[in-house]
A and B are shown apart, each in its own frame.
Chain A
Amino acid sequence: MNDNQNNIFTTVERYYNDYGLRARELKNEGRKAVGYICSMVPLEIISASGCIPFRVRGSIHEPITMGDTLLETIVCPYYRSCFDLSMKQKYDFLSGLVIPHGCDSMVRSFSVWSYSLPYSYFHFINTPSVCVESSFEFFYAELNTFRKSLEKFTGKEITDDDLAQTIRIYNENRDKVRALYEFRKADPPLLSGTELIMVLTVGSSLPIGEANALFDQVLAEVSRRENSPLRKGPRIFIDGACLDNIELIKVVEELGGNVVADTICNGTRDYFPRTDVGGNPIDALARRYLEKINCPKTYRENKTGSFEGDAADRFGDIGAYAKEFKVNGAILYIYKYCDPFGFEVPARKAYYKSIHVPLLYLEDVYSAGTMGQLKTRIQAFLEMIG
C-alpha cells in the first residue's frame, strides 16, 4: 500500500472494489492466504503461523447461481453469497479456509465447502455455545488444536512468543479502529459510515501490518478534515450481523442520515474487544473470542431473574454506544434465515424501547434488488425521527 501522495480513500475504494487484489499479489509472491468467515476465528493464530487471514465476503450485486446448485436456499443469504463467490473462483488465491461454529448454516455446510473447493487446508473451530468455566477450558483445547493444524499445514511452529506478538499487533489494530470511531462523535461526523465500512472491509483483506498502516493513513487523512463529508442529520445506529457491502449505509447517508455507530460483526462487535496480554496467549484468545465478542450465538445465562435485567446484560453495549455516539435512531438489519439474530428481534425491540431509541427493523435477503424497498422505509423512518 503505497499511496501517500493520493487521497487514501482512493486506494481504499480500489481495494474495496477489487476485493482480494492484495492477497492475490501476495499469493504470487509465495505467501499463503487463509480465508475465514465470521468474527469467531482467532486471526492472531493465523497470522502467527505466517499465513494471511483473509475475510471472505459476499456481494449483494452478484446473483447467487453456482452456489445454489449445492447449497439450499434456506441458508442465510449472506453466507450463500460467500459460498457462491468462492465457487466462482473469486477467491482462488486462497490456500485454505477456516469456518467456526458461528451458526447452523456454517456447521451444516462445512462438508459442502470442504469437498467443493480446491483449497489444501480446511479447519472447523468448534466454538462453544455457552460462556462458563468448562467452556473456556474446552475452547482453550480447541484453539490449541487449531494451532497444531496450522503448524502442520505451514510446517512452522507457532510459539507463545509468536502469539504474544500477533496479539499485540491485533490489539493495535483494534485501537486504531476505535480511534476511527472517535471521528464519528462529531456532529456531523468527520468520517461517514460508508467510508468506515469500506475501510474496515478492506482492512480485513490485508496482512495485519498493512491493515494497520492503512488505518494510520486514514486516521491522518481524517484528522486533517475540517468539514464532514455529510450534512448534519439524524444520528443512526446500525444493529445486526455482518454488513460487508456499503449499500445499506450509503442509502441511509444519501437520505440525510448520519451513520455513527453499530454493533455489526465487521464493526464494534469484532473490533472493540481487546485481547488480554501478559498471560497464556491461547487462554487470552479463548476468553476474547468466547466472552468478549457479544454474539447472539453465545448463550449467556439470565442471572437477574427479570427480562429487563437480562436484556440490559445482553444488549447493554447497544445502550452504551447509543449514549456515547448520541444516537437518534437505530436500524436493526437482519438477514432472512438467520436464526441467532432472528430469535432476538422481540427482545432487541423491547430493549430499544426501554432506552427510548426509535427503531426500524428490516429483514433483508442480501441483494441489491431490495435496496429500493429499503430506501422507502428508511426515508420514512428518517422523516419520522426528524
Chain B
Amino acid sequence: MTATQAAASIGPIVKEFITGTLRARAEGKNKLAYTFIHCHHEEIFRAMDVVPVWTENFAGICGAKRDAERFLQRAESLGLSRSLCTYALCGIGFDQWREERGEMPPNSPWGGQARPDFMISSGQILCDPRSKWYQASQQFMPDVPIYNIDLPYPLFQRDRDHRDVWGYYHKYIVKQFRSLVAFIEEQTGKKMDYDRLKELVDLSDRTWNLIDETYNLRKSKPCPMGTGDAMNTMVPVCFMMATEKTYDFFVNLKKELEEKIARGEGEVQDEKYRLMWGGGLPAWFALNDFNYFNSKGASFPVETTYRTTEPLHGMDIPETKDPIEHLAWRWLGYWTFWYDKAKKRPGSEPDVERLINWIEEYKIDGVVMHEAFSCRTWHVGLIWQLHQLAKIYKPIPVYRIGTEGKKERVYRELPSLILESDIIDITSYSEVDTRNKIDAFIETLESIRANKAT
C-alpha cells in the first residue's frame, strides 16, 4: 500500500522497462548494455540510444517476487559464497542458467533478463561486486565485452581539503568518460551527438534540483510521503534518469505532495512518530514492514537510501560547457556534498553530518537502519554512524537559545533500531523477529515521549 498515487504507478513502469529490454533484444535495432545504478552518467547511454539493462533492478525484482532463491542456489553451486552480494549472485546464477539453456530459465520473473551486447562495470570506490560481477558473468558469455569505468572521488579526511586534489580526480574521470564514449561508439557503430548529450545532461540537472524540491516537501507535518513510497519513487531516480518521463514524474509527484500538504493529509492518519531510514538497502521481499510501522503511527519523512542526487545549486563546482567535463564535476560535487559542513562540526563526518542535518530539518524522533548481510558497500559503517550520533543525541536535557532568544531546555534523545536480514535472500528474514523489534522500538519511542512530557 502506498501513500501517493505516484508511487502506486511505479509497478507497471518497472515491468514495462524490463519487458522493453526484451522487446529491444528481439527487434535488434538498439544495443543493450548491462549496467549499474548510481553511476550518474546515464546521459551517455541515452544519447547513444543504448538500452540500459539494470542488473541490480532485475535481482531486486526477483527478490520482491520472492523468486531469487533458485538463482542464488545456482550461483552457490558454481562456488560463489552466499556471503557475497546477493544481487550479484542472483544475476550470475541467472546468466549462467540462461547461457546454459540458450533461452530464459523457466518462468523467469517478468520474462527474464535480456542477454546484453556489452557490459559497463563500475566499482567506483565503493562497490567491489560491481567491479567483479560482470567479470564473473563473462565466464559464461565470453563474447560479451566489458568496459569497467573507474570513478573515484576523494575520500573524506578531516584534516584535508578535497579541493586540493580534485583537479586530478576530475581529469581522470573525464578521461574515463571519454574512453567509455569511445567504447560505446565502437560497439554501436554510432558517433556521439554531443549536442544531444548536453541537452540530456541539462535535463538531468534540472531533474536533480526538482527531486530535491519535491522531497523537501516531506518535511511537512504530517509527512505526505514516507520511505515505503520512496522505495518506489527511486525507480525513476535510479533507472530512468535523463528522460522527460522522469522529469514529468517529479513534476506530478511534487504537485501531489503540495495538494496533500494543503489538505493536511499525511502518510499515516495520526502521525505520532517521525522516523528516518538512516541507512541500508531495503529487504525487497518485506517492504510491507513500512506499512507495519505506519500502523503504529510512525511515518518516515526521509531516508538516506536512494537519495542518489543532490541539488546542483548546493555544489561548489566549476562551470563548463563541455557535458563530459560537467558530468565529472557533478560526480565530484555529489560525493563531496557534505564535506565542508562535516568539517565544521567536531566529531562529524559526511555520512553522519547528513544524518544530523536531516534529523533536525525533518524533525526526526528516531532512526531505523537495515543491515543487509551480503552488502558491505552500503552497510559497513552504519553502527559507527549511530555511535557518533549517540554522542550528540544523549538522554539528558540540554539548553539552547530558542524562540525569541530565550533559553529553553530540550531533550535530544534519539533512539535507533537496526533491522537485520538481506536485500533479496529471504532465508535471512524472520517476520516475527522483525515485527517484535519494531514493537519494542515503538514502545521505546512512547516511553521517551512520556518521559519528556513529565
- Residues on A lying within 8 angstroms of B by beta carbon are 69-72, 74-75, 101, 103-105, 107-112, 114-116, 122-124, 126, 128-130, 132, 134-135, 137-138, 141-142, 145, 149, 296-297, 299, 301-302, 305-307, 310, 334, 336-337, 339-340, 342-347, 349-350, 361, 363
Contacts and interface: CB of A to CB of B under 8 A. Distances in A.
Contacts of A145: 164-165
A257 to B, nearest CB: 22
A301 B146 contact: yes
A104 B377 contact: yes
Report the 7 A-B pairs with minimum CB-CB distance, sorted nearest first. Answer: A343-B132, A108-B380, A339-B128, A138-B172, A134-B175, A141-B168, A345-B79
A135 B381 contact: no
B155 A124 contact: yes
A104 B176 CA distance: 21
A299 B80 contact: no
B388 interface: yes
A337 B149 CA distance: 24
Chain B binding surface SS class: loop
A111 B349 contact: yes
A72 B374 CA distance: 11
Contact of B154 (A74, A126, A307): A126
Interface in B361-403: 371, 373-377, 379-384, 387-388
Nearest to B380: A108
Interface string B293-327: 00000000000000000000000000000000000
Interface in B118-132: 121, 123-129, 131-132
Nearest to B78: A346
Contacts of A116: 384
A347 B374 CA distance: 21
A310 B152 CA distance: 25
B381 A108 contact: yes
Nearest to B350: A111
A310 B143 CA distance: 11
Interface string B140-181: 001101101110101111101000110011011001100100
Contact of A310 (B124, B131, B133, B138): B138
Interface string B52-94: 0000000000000000000000000011110111001000000
B214 interface: no
A343 B80 contact: yes
A340 B175 CA distance: 25
Given A302-B138, A344-B132, A109 B125 contact: no
A343 B172 CA distance: 27
A361 B176 CA distance: 36
Given A128-B152, A129-B131, A109 B139 contact: no
Contact of A103 (B128, B143, B176): B128
Contacts of B448: none
A137 B80 contact: no
A134 B171 CA distance: 9
Interface centre among A107, A343, A350 (most CB of B within 10 A): A343
A94 B132 CA distance: 34
Contacts of B145: 302
Given A74-B379, A124-B157, A345-B79, A296 B349 contact: no
B192 interface: no
A307 B138 contact: yes
A339 B129 contact: yes
Interface of B: 78-81, 83-85, 88, 121, 123-129, 131-133, 135-136, 138-139, 142-143, 145-146, 148-150, 152, 154-158, 160, 164-165, 168-169, 171-172, 175-176, 179, 347, 349, 351, 371, 373-377, 379-384, 387-388
Contacts of B121: 299
B79 A361 contact: yes
Contacts of B132: 296, 339-340, 343-344
B85 A339 contact: yes
A306 B387 contact: no
Contacts of B135: 299, 302, 343-344, 347
A114 B157 contact: yes
B128 A340 contact: yes
A229 B125 CA distance: 45
Given A104-B380, A310-B138, A343-B88, 17 more contacts: A72-B371, A74-B376, A101-B125, A104-B377, A130-B150, A135-B150, A137-B175, A141-B168, A297-B128, A299-B121, A307-B139, A343-B80, A343-B133, A345-B78, A345-B81, A347-B135, A361-B79
Nearest to A110: B155
Contacts of A105: 376, 380
Given A72-B383, A342-B81, A346-B136, A305 B142 contact: yes
Contact of A115 (B127, B138, B179, B388): B388
B383 A70 contact: yes
Contacts of B150: 128-130, 135, 138
Nearest to A314: B135
B138 A342 contact: no
B123 A299 contact: yes
Contacts of B347: 115
7 contacts: A108-B381, A115-B384, A129-B125, A137-B171, A339-B128, A339-B376, A343-B80
A180 to B, nearest CB: 32
Nearest to B376: A104
A138 B168 contact: yes
Contacts of A138: 150, 152, 168-169, 171-172
B418 to A, nearest CB: 10
A386 B152 CA distance: 48
B172 A350 contact: no
A108 B79 contact: no
B128 A104 contact: yes
Contact of B379 (A72, A126, A132, A342): A72
Contact of B80 (A103, A141, A305, A346): A346
Contacts of B377: 104, 108
B136 A347 contact: yes
B81 A115 contact: no
B136 A107 contact: no
A133 B145 CA distance: 19
A71 B138 contact: no
B433 to A, nearest CB: 17
Residue with the greatest number of chain B CB neighbours at <10 A, chosen from A75, A342, A349, A350: A342
B392 to A, nearest CB: 14
Contact of B376 (A70, A108, A111): A108
Contacts of A306: 142
Contacts of A123: 157
Contacts of B139: 307, 346-347, 350
Contacts of A74: 83, 371, 373-376, 379-380
Contacts of A149: 160
Contacts of B380: 71-72, 74-75, 104-105, 108-109
A337 B361 CA distance: 36
A71 B384 contact: yes
Q: Which of B125, B129, B371, B382 has the most CB of A within 10 A?
A: B125
Given A74-B371, A337-B376, A130 B148 contact: yes
Contact of A134 (B148, B176, B374): B176
B134 to A, nearest CB: 10
B136 A344 contact: yes
